[in-house]
Amino acid sequence: MAGFLSAHGYAPGPTQRPVLAGAISGLIATLPAIAILSAFGSLAVEGAILGLSTLRTVGLGVPVMALAGALYGWLFGRAANDRRGGWLFGMAFGFALWASGAVMLIPLFTGGLAPAGKAAIGLFLSLVAWGAALGLLYPFVHRPLHESVEKAAERTGPTTGTRRMDRR
């Protein structure tokens, strides 16, 4: 997939700020995720597994998800601006976070403890919903963050792609 993205010119370009846009979108997307976690009782279970209070679990989770959003912006680059497909890319990213974080890493760092039952369902749904919200929000959050064409164009003069020659 990375090769395919790369071949199709996904490098964001000088006007875009994908990491910032991803971080902000990731932050906002935690709202529905927290709502789902609460509804399924997953937050308390997750806190118990990690040995943290519910509040601290949320406090830890929010910046982590902002960071994950920034990673999403960096990874998906220009493709993340796709208003039609963004939710799908975000969901895929949310699924990947669930598979790597919730499924693999949490048991690894807690001596094999893993959420089960309703709590496990909530955890899965919250991350997929977080991803979908991230992908949906990203293009709209990113647009006003763009640098203006006039300003960015100053860095794209006729020396683009040339090499300075040393005096011999």
For other proteins, which is the closer residue by CB, 15 or 53? 15
- Find out whether 25 and 87 touch, Cβ atoms under 8 Å: no
Write out the residues near other proteins by the rule CB under 8 A.
Answer: 1, 4-5, 8-11, 13-16, 41, 45, 48-49, 78-79, 81-85, 88, 91-92, 99, 103, 107, 111-121, 124, 139, 146, 149-150, 152-158, 160-162
For other proteins, which is the closer residue by CB, 63 or 109? 109
For other proteins, which is the closer residue by CB, 69 or 131? 131
- Find out whether 23 and 69 touch, Cβ atoms under 8 Å: yes
Cβ 139 to other proteins, closest distance in Å?
A: 7
Question: Rounded to a whole number, what is the distance in angstroms from the first to the last CA of the chain?
Answer: 45
What type of residue sits at position 103?
Answer: V
Phi, psi for residue 85 in degrees, rounded to 5 = -105, -5
